[in-house]
């Protein structure tokens, strides 16, 4: 009997790469594979398109010696955050989303997405883009007044970004689930369409480190609040007593498996219910 596929899109963090994220998430994927013996689990690890220079790395300090030519390093990002733009702007985000759209089109469909840090932020954005009706939100927030309404004064005014061209006509169903490790919401008015009118509908498990000194707690909570329902009360927020990394201890691996199983079983029940209704000889 052939096993049902369980396909996962894996999005690495800023300064990482696909192969590096593969190494860092090995325990998680191994645990998922073991937990779903009736599924053919596969994880695809694309590398982000923006190759970073040493100066792009947080904490980089140039040498006092005469400057040497920029060496190439194996560090990549889905976008660069502008340090001067007000409101905040993600440079190269279109290229990052286009790279993900290419993988979705060529290697999909994927059941779910798992992202870390910047990859988790992108995972939430991509999940939103695949949802039905999301284009309408981008149309609404394209107006500067609408996008800037209610935004904190210090964040500045701006029109919302346009719906990404790479997702226009993309044939891929919404994700069944997403796991965001050290994730966060993109700030300011430019990116509201990813999170509002409506809130993100895709079920997301948020896994956060209580000692994370890289992603501010308020940014992670902003992503949680952008999700439909009450994620905290629904068991979709998990804290681990560590910093900015994927926890590999058993309780946090079990939490990921439990969440994925709930989403898959929920979808299976929904499909079965729809089939039962279609089989009924009732003139609706």
Length, in residues, of the chain: 284
**Catalytic one of 22, 31, 172, 244:** 244
Burial (0-12, 13-18, 19+ Cβ within 10 Å), 209: buried
Q: How many Å apart are CA 213 and CA 133, to the nearest integer?
A: 36
DSSP 16: B
Burial (0-12, 13-18, 19+ Cβ within 10 Å), 56: middle
Give me Rg for the CA atoms of the chain: 20
In the three-class reduction of DSSP (H, G, I as helix; E, B as strand; rest coil), residue 161 is classed as coil
Are 126 and 22 within 8 A, CB to CB? Answer: no
CB atoms within 10 A of CB 1: 4
82 is known as an active-site residue? no
What are phi and psi for residue 167, nearest 5 degrees? -100, -5
244 is known as an active-site residue? yes
117 is known as an active-site residue? yes
**Catalytic one of 117, 182, 186, 220:** 117
Tokens representing 212 are 């994370």
**Catalytic one of 12, 212, 220, 240:** 212
Closest to 264 measured CA to CA, from 29, 80, 25, 38: 38
Give the residue numbers marked as catalytic.
Answer: 117, 212, 244
């Amino acid at each position: 009997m052939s096993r049902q596929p369980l396909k996962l899109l894996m999005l690495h963090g800023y300064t990482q790469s696909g192969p590096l994220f593969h190494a860092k998430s090995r325990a998680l994927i191994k645990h998922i594979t073991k937990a779903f013996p009736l599924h053919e689990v596969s994880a695809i690890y694309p590398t982000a398109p923006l190759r970073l220079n040493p100066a792009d790395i947080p904490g980089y300090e140039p040498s006092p010696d005469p400057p040497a030519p920029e060496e190439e390093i194996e560090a990549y990002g889905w976008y660069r955050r502008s340090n001067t733009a007000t409101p905040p702007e993600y440079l190269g985000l279109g290229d990052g989303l286009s790279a993900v759209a290419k993988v979705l089109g060529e290697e999909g469909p994927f059941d779910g997405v798992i992202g870390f840090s910047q990859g988790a932020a992108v995972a939430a954005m991509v999940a939103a883009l695949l949802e039905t009706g999301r284009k309408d939100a981008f149309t609404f927030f394209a107006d500067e007044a609408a996008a800037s309404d209610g935004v904190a004064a210090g964040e500045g005014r701006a029109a919302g970004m346009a719906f990404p061209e790479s997702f226009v006509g993309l044939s891929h169903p919404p994700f069944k689930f997403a796991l965001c490790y050290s994730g966060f919401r993109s700030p300011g008015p430019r990116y509201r369409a990813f999170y509002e009118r409506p809130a993100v509908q895709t079920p997301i498990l948020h896994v956060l480190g209580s000692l994370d000194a890289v992603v501010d707690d308020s940014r992670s909570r902003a992503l949680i609040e952008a999700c439909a329902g009450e994620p905290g009360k629904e068991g979709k927020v998990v804290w681990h007593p560590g910093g900015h990394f994927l926890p590999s201890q058993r309780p946090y691996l079990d939490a990921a498996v439990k969440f994925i199983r709930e989403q898959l079983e929920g979808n299976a029940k929904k499909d079965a219910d729809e089939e039962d209704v279609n089989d009924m000889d009732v003139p609706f």
